[in-house]
Amino acid sequence: MSCHRGALIVLEGVDKAGKTTQCKKLVAALQHSGRPAEVMRFPDRTTSIGLLINSYLQKDRELEDHAIHLLFSANRWELVPSMKKKIEQGVTVVVDRYAFSGAAFTSAKQGFCLDWCKTPDVGLPKPDLVMFLKVSPAEAALRGQFGEERYETSVFQKTVQQRFEQLMKDPSVNWKVIDASKQIQDVHEDIIGHSLSAITTAQSQPIGELWK
Ligand code: ADP
Ligand code: FDM
């Protein structure tokens, strides 16, 4: 077993920015180079809370806006023990969306402020690196039509993008903005570069607490 902890690396961005594609490529490249790595994604729709979230996103069920926000957060908290265990065992965990999506999406709704939205996630394991995959709404639209799920409209996604911009002003989080309009392989190379340095830095540091 490795004596160094793994890193917690998060990919964020609006719909179709390439998060899922790049998470898979990053984990495959790290594993190929002999570094243990695993992917996680939020929401994790496989747990009982995740099934409830899935039915909300698929519009099969209505849930009050505050209540669904807290369920998204609970879905992260319920997976903290397994996430921490992997990291402590030396596995780098690459996460497709995290608390930043939680705060950006709910605060894009009427009557929600960013501070209230961040509160339930305060104290989660703090990512060593958060990469924001940036594409313009026009470029994202070229990658396919929106599906049927809740939140998949260009007006809402534009507000979400503005909320992400606000979150990125926080210097306590190690944000890197990635130009995700480039070719898949070029984006991957930028991501690998930032990830390798985050993995090295994380080895000598304890896991932090988010927004604390
Ligand atoms: P997300 O997880 O951010 O919603 P995906 O990784 O599922 O995005 O990608 C959405 C679509 O865009 C997929 O069809 C994927 O193949 C394509 N795609 C991803 N990255 C790029 C890129 N850099 N250039 C062009 N198409 C891309
Ligand atoms: N989403 C995701 C939230 O509203 N809050 C959250 O905390 C998280 C993690 O759920 F529309 C939204 C963002 C997106 C949807 O879609 C999940 P994907 O395709 O599974 O990433």
What is the spatial distance between Cα 145 and Cα 155, in angstroms, rounded to a whole number? 14
Instruction: Kindly report the protein residue whose alpha carbon is nearest to atom 17 of ligand 2.
Output: 43
At residue 39, what are phi and psi to the nearest 5 degrees?
-100, 145
Per-residue model confidence (pLDDT) at position 1: 47
DSSP letter for each residue of 36-76: -EEEEESS-TTSHHHHHHHHHHTTSS---HHHHHHHHHHHH
Ligand 1 pocket member 21 (CB < 6 A): yes
What is the spatial distance between Cα 102 and Cα 4, in angstroms, rounded to a whole number? 30
Mean pLDDT score of the chain: 96
18 alpha carbon – ligand 1 mean position (Å): 4
Mean pLDDT within 22-38: 98
Q: pLDDT per residue over 42-72, tens digit each?
A: 999 999 999 999 999 999 999 999 999 999 9
Residues 6+ positions from 169 with CB-CB distance below 8 Å:
none
75 alpha carbon – ligand 2 mean position (Å): 11
Per-residue model confidence (pLDDT) at position 206: 98
204 alpha carbon – ligand 2 mean position (Å): 32
Q: Which residues line ligand 2 at a C-beta cut-off of 6 Å?
A: 42-43, 57, 72, 97, 101-102, 105, 151
Q: What ipTM was assigned to the predicted interfaces of this complex?
A: 0.99
Per-residue model confidence (pLDDT) at position 104: 98
User: Cβ distance 49 to 134 under 8 Å?
Assistant: no
Quickly state the pLDDT bin for 172 (edges 50, 70, 90): very high
How many residues make up the chain in this entry? 212
Quickly state the pLDDT bin for 154 (edges 50, 70, 90): confident
pTM of the entire structure? 0.98
Ligand 1 nearest-atom number relative to CA 135: 23
Quickly state the pLDDT bin for 2 (edges 50, 70, 90): low
What is the spatial distance between Cα 88 and Cα 125, in angstroms, rounded to a whole number? 12
User: Cβ distance 26 to 131 under 8 Å?
Assistant: no
Which residue bears the tokens 């890197």? 176
Ligand 1 nearest-atom number relative to CA 143: 12
Quickly state the pLDDT bin for 145 (edges 50, 70, 90): confident
54 alpha carbon – ligand 2 mean position (Å): 10
Percent of the chain clearing pLDDT 90 (strictly above):
90
